[in-house]
Structure 1
Amino acid sequence: MLKFNESKFLIAFVFLLVVNLSLAILSEDLMEKSCTNSEQCQYYETEDVNSTCVGGACRCYNNATHSVTTCRPNILRTNNIIGGNCPCNLPHAECKPSDNLCYCEVNYISTKDKRRCVPTKIILGEPCEMDSQCKTYAVFSHCANDTKICTCRENFVQEDRMCLSRTRFTPKCQNDRQCMLSGPNRFCLPGIGECVCMPGFISSNKSKHCLDRRRFNETCLESLQCHIPMGPGGSCENGKCRCKEEYALVTDTMKCELLPQIGQYCTENKHCHLRNLTNDEQLMECDRGECVCRFGAKNESPCDTSIATRVIKSQLCLWFMLAVAILKLKHI
């Protein structure tokens, strides 16, 4: 028979084992703050805490004990990045009082490195950094890799700050009549001496016709018809204009909006939310200027809620083991 002190020691040992296993499960399965490199975790570091990027999330350690600890922002640290603590030293950045963090001003968006705020919309012919800046102004444009200027995509030509579609066979012309002989809804563009489709029409990939724009749920022949009013997220599926799988329809504009992605720039939680879910059902939130999985969901795309359930079940199982051990000790 075990002595009383030995029984107490055994109970304490089992208790500590359960607690440590629970913390291990939490540290492995619950992501705290998303990251791509350890530099992004520096705002959690203090004299007592070190933070590194592990598996796409900031992991914090106590310098003295080397044990995992909760990541807490060092509010005294200032950062020259979007999503860092105020004061904001970047041009076109402002401090949001509700969380004391820096975000881009209205009509500006963060660059991928979070070091600058650039205009959300760039007109054709102006300097740019991202395709999204150009597409916001003209759907058939992009930010050219070589010049970093907003220009029209291949098979499109700029005219009066629009991207007009070159006709499939791009016949040379001197007047509109020559183009109309090839088909309707086209004219001769003097600058290049070629036939192009009229504004609101797109050259077919399957014929020489210029096809009319088609809105959501309207009949279509090709996806480019849907792009004109619905944006690059439009797609012709089974003869109807729909939004692509990773896009959702915005009813007030009737455009296809890209669904929130992990790492996407944001200033509020709603920028990371799916429109068809309630607040309690949302899997992502805005944290320091980017969309991340909410606590209890694995930081991967899409956010996985099964992790939190598995952690809870594992913890319950461990506590059950502790209870059984204690009951057995009482009968020794």
Structure 2
Amino acid sequence: MNYLNYLFVFLCFFVIVYGQFEDALPASRQLGEQCKLDSHCSPNWSLCGRRTLRCECWDGFIKKGNECIAAIQGLCTEDSDCSSTLPHSFCDQDEKCKCRDTYLASPDRTTCLSPKRINETCILEEECKLYLGFYGQCMVNPANYSSKVCLCSQNSHPSRFNGTCIATVGLNGRCTSDDQCHSTTTESIQLICYDSQCKCPAGYVSDDDRGCRDGAETLVKSFIIVLLMFGFTKIF
């Protein structure tokens, strides 16, 4: 036998063995299992890898369990290619999956993150800024250090009207609305904007720019001090 005969025998042997091996494989193959044709792979958006000969996800789709889910920037031809596995997404004019305008892509490109409000759990700072605005931040939860929540950054506070974060104007600072005025020392007392300046509300008096004190309580204390001084003067 010359070498051509040996080669022919080897090829025949390979075809027979491979055919038997192919027949032994299950008809519906899962991700990571061996395959020969795309039709062998059962999960949606999967194919038979040309190099690996194993079932894998289409380009632009990501393996999650035994499913191929759409990823941001993954290829598509219609909205359902994206939204069926990636809520709040659509197929843009470039035929790529994209999050809708009020949503943000997660770092792994598998989720469209929704806008977050104060104290809602977050992953990215941008989630907080989508609703809270420029001063929104994703920070360690003061009540649970293992998680993060949306909070207003330093020198800002939540608006009384819509919950967005706005720059803080303290006692005696210049203002244009009550919403800007915020006391960092007596947060339970809401300052007011009066004559373009943040002031204590009726019934309270300023405490050297540090906060507001109850006016009635201050008056009583002052009266007691006067009585004590008067009594002290009488004694001597």
Q: Which band: TM-score by shorter chain?
A: 0.3 to 0.5
**TM-score, normalised with respect to structure 1:** 0.29
**TM-score, normalised with respect to structure 2:** 0.38
Structure ID, larger Rg:
2
